């Protein structure tokens, strides 16, 4: 069958059933994304004003956190030069105020939980229960209409209400997203691909603050869920990870007792201690989602240096190296499903079989293309429209390698008692923005797969 035919049949099947899945529990990170599309003249002027030499230092090596304007501007240049994403915590009030005055072009829902809640609940009609660390009026207003709920406790009794009905006036957790297109020029640097730099002016999500409603009523909340997705642990450090990780393990145990399959959205975790700790608990999850940089970073802590290097050596990423790394990870941790995404293709390794795994990935690729094109997925119609986006040209060489190595057919193969699934993805040539595409992919594929069971 052609990929075109596989795409359209997968879409129809998932669309027909996805609204009947859930409720999906989403924890822990939600914030407001203030998206600024960078302008090079403006950026150069700001760098000159702050002192070019000092700023350039940080474009060589990222600071650990942002405590000065030089850190902020240097961090942005670090991302532009490499075409790579980065996110740093903004500690200084002066810098927070500087970013606020610099302004933004759009305010959007942010954080994995927020983005997934709007997509699953607001677009697919899947009921979701979301953890929102701080519900300010601005934050509440960014939630779409639909079956999206947050726990509210009154007189010791738990209720689930839409975030707009929560009616609290808590703090704003704002992440400033500096987006740049491929070819963006500033001084002598030119961005090899589109990406973003994020400055998080937020004291809650970076510490994985967990609300009392969730700590005190988790049994009851988990009792209402059929699936769960956990994210937001990537910002933890060796200094603050113990408390949140203990609480997460408690949540995982309770979800396990309720037979709720849980997906971990990995995201780049800079701190090695935290990364190791996450790999150690991966077996408690049903599923994990990650990209090539994240998979390589896990191979590093597993002592697989050579594989880690291979994963970052070529573009498109060598699928045989990816499959090897996924096998290593599955065997070492016992996680049942690994969903890998990169520019141009996805792979999934599962310890169970069936075409539904592949079809859910195809559905996810359509959602990703819609998100790349528009920066948001307003409705299911835009996911349908993504059918017209062409499949990535380089994906056929990737498929060829998989056919040679594993005898793959129609994107499916068996490797060492696991099922390996491949799909070529649709790539939007000039994406509106890059933030949140990974979350769109992982949540659509995970929930889509259960919809097809
Ligand atoms: P992450 O690396 O987690 O931010 O997720 C980014 C993912 O989005 C990549 O792995 C690609 O699969 C996908 N992606 C990035 N750019 C595009 C694009 N222009 N069109 C479609 N998908 C994209
Ligand atoms: C991280 C960022 C958040 C952004 C999200 C997108 O969680 O902190 O601002 O919306 O990634 O994936």
Look up residue 123 and give its two tokens. 């677009």
Instruction: Using most ligand atoms within 8 A of CB, pick from 438, 439, 442, 444 the residue to mutate for ligand 1.
Output: 438
Q: Model's pTM, two decimal places?
A: 0.97
Average pLDDT over residues 80-88: 94
Helices (H), 205-271: 212-216, 218-223, 242-257
User: Which residue's CA is minimally distant from atom 2 of ligand 2?
Assistant: 111
The helix or strand, by DSSP H or E, that contains position 362, with its residue range, turns out to be helix 355-374
Question: For residue 122, is pLDDT > 90?
Answer: yes
Question: For residue 136, is pLDDT > 90?
Answer: yes
Q: Which atom of ligand 1 is nearest to the CA of 429?
A: 19
**CA 295 – CA 250 distance, rounded (Å):** 26
Q: Residue 411 — pLDDT band, cuts 50, 70, 90?
A: very high
- How many C-beta atoms lie closer than 10 Å to residue 212's C-beta? 9
pLDDT digits (tens, 9 = 90+) for 158-211: 999 999 999 999 999 999 999 999 999 999 999 999 999 999 999 999 999 999
The whole-chain average pLDDT of the chain stands at 97
pLDDT digits (tens, 9 = 90+) for 235-269: 999 999 999 999 999 999 999 999 999 999 999 89
**CA 390 – CA 384 distance, rounded (Å):** 13
Q: Residue 315 — pLDDT band, cuts 50, 70, 90?
A: confident
Average pLDDT over residues 132-145: 98
Q: Which atom of ligand 2 is nearest to the CA of 202?
A: 8
Average pLDDT over residues 66-83: 97
Q: Which residue, chain included where needed, has tokens 């704002």?
A: 174
- Bridge-based pairing of strands 227-230 and 106-110 is unpaired
Q: What is the pLDDT of residue 128?
A: 98
Catalytic hit among 202, 271, 359, 439: 439
Using only the alpha carbons of the chain, give its radius of gyration: 21
**Where is pLDDT greater, at 393 or 413?**
413
Q: Which atom of ligand 1 is nearest to the CA of 290?
A: 3
The residue length of the chain stands at 453
Q: What is the pLDDT of residue 1?
A: 85
**Where is pLDDT greater, at 348 or 393?**
348
pLDDT digits (tens, 9 = 90+) for 38-48: 999 999 999 99
Q: What is the pLDDT of residue 109?
A: 98
Q: What is the pLDDT of residue 270?
A: 87
Tell me the CA–centroid distance for residue 310 and ligand 1, in Å. 20
Q: What is the pLDDT of residue 367?
A: 98
Average pLDDT over residues 6-35: 97
Tell me whether residue 439 is one of the annotated catalytic residues: yes
Nearest bound ligand to the CA of residue 234: 2
Whole-angstrom CA distances from 206 to 217, 361, 393 are 23, 30, 38
Nearest bound ligand to the CA of residue 432: 1
Residue pair 269/237 in contact (Cβ under 8 Å)? The answer is no
**CA 351 – CA 280 distance, rounded (Å):** 19
Tell me the CA–centroid distance for residue 109 and ligand 2, in Å. 9
Answer yes or no: is the C-beta of 206 below 6 A from any ligand 2 atom. no
pLDDT digits (tens, 9 = 90+) for 105-114: 999 999 999 9
**CA 30 – CA 219 distance, rounded (Å):** 21
């Amino acid at each position: 069958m052609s990929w075109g035919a596989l795409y359209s049949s997968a879409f129809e099947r998932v669309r027909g059933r996805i609204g009947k899945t859930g409720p999906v529990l989403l924890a822990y990170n939600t914030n407001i994304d203030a998206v600024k599309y960078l302008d090079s003249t403006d950026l150069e002027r700001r760098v000159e004003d702050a002192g070019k030499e000092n700023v350039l230092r940080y474009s060589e090596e990222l600071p650990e956190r942002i405590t000065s304007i030089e850190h902020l501007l240097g961090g942005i240049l670090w991302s532009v030069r490499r075409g790579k994403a980065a996110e740093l915590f903004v500690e200084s009030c002066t810098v927070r105020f500087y970013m606020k005055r610099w302004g933004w072009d759009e305010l959007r829902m942010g954080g994995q939980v927020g983005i997934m809640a709007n997509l699953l609940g607001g677009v697919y009609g899947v009921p979701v229960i979301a953890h929102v660390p701080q519900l300010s009026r601005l934050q509440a207003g960014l939630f779409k209409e639909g079956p999206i709920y947050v726990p509210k406790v009154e007189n010791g009794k738990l209720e689930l209400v839409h975030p707009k009905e929560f009616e609290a006036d808590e703090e704003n957790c704002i992440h400033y997203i500096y987006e740049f297109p491929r070819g963006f020029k500033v001084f002598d640097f030119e961005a090899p691909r589109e990406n973003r730099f994020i400055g998080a002016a937020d004291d809650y999500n970076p510490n994985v603050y967990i609300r009392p409603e969730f700590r005190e009523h988790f049994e009851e909340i988990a009792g209402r869920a059929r699936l769960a997705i956990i994210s937001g642990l990537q910002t933890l450090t060796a200094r603050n990870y113990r408390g949140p990780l203990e609480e997460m393990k408690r949540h995982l145990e309770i979800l396990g007792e309720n037979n709720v399959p849980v997906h971990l959205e990995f995201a780049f975790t800079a701190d090695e201690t935290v990364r190791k700790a996450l790999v150690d608990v991966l077996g408690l999850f049903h599923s994990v989602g990650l990209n090539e940089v994240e998979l390589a970073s896990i191979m590093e802590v597993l002592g697989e240096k050579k594989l880690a290097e291979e994963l970052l050596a070529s573009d498109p990423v060598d699928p045989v190296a990816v499959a090897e790394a996924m096998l290593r990870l599955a065997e070492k941790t016992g996680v049942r499903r690994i969903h890998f995404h990169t520019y141009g293709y996805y792979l999934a390794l599962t310890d169970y079989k069936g075409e539904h795994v592949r079809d859910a990935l195809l559905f996810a690729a359509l959602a990703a293309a819609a998100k790349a094109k528009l920066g948001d997925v307003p409705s299911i119609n835009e996911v349908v429209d993504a059918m017209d986006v062409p499949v990535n040209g380089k994906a056929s060489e990737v498929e060829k390698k998989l056919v040679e190595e594993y005898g793959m057919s129609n994107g499916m193969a068996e490797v060492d008692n696991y099922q390996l699934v491949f799909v070529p993805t649709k790539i939007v040539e000039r994406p509106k923005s890059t933030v949140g595409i990974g979350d769109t992919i992982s949540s659509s594929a995970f929930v889509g797969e259960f919809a097809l069971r």
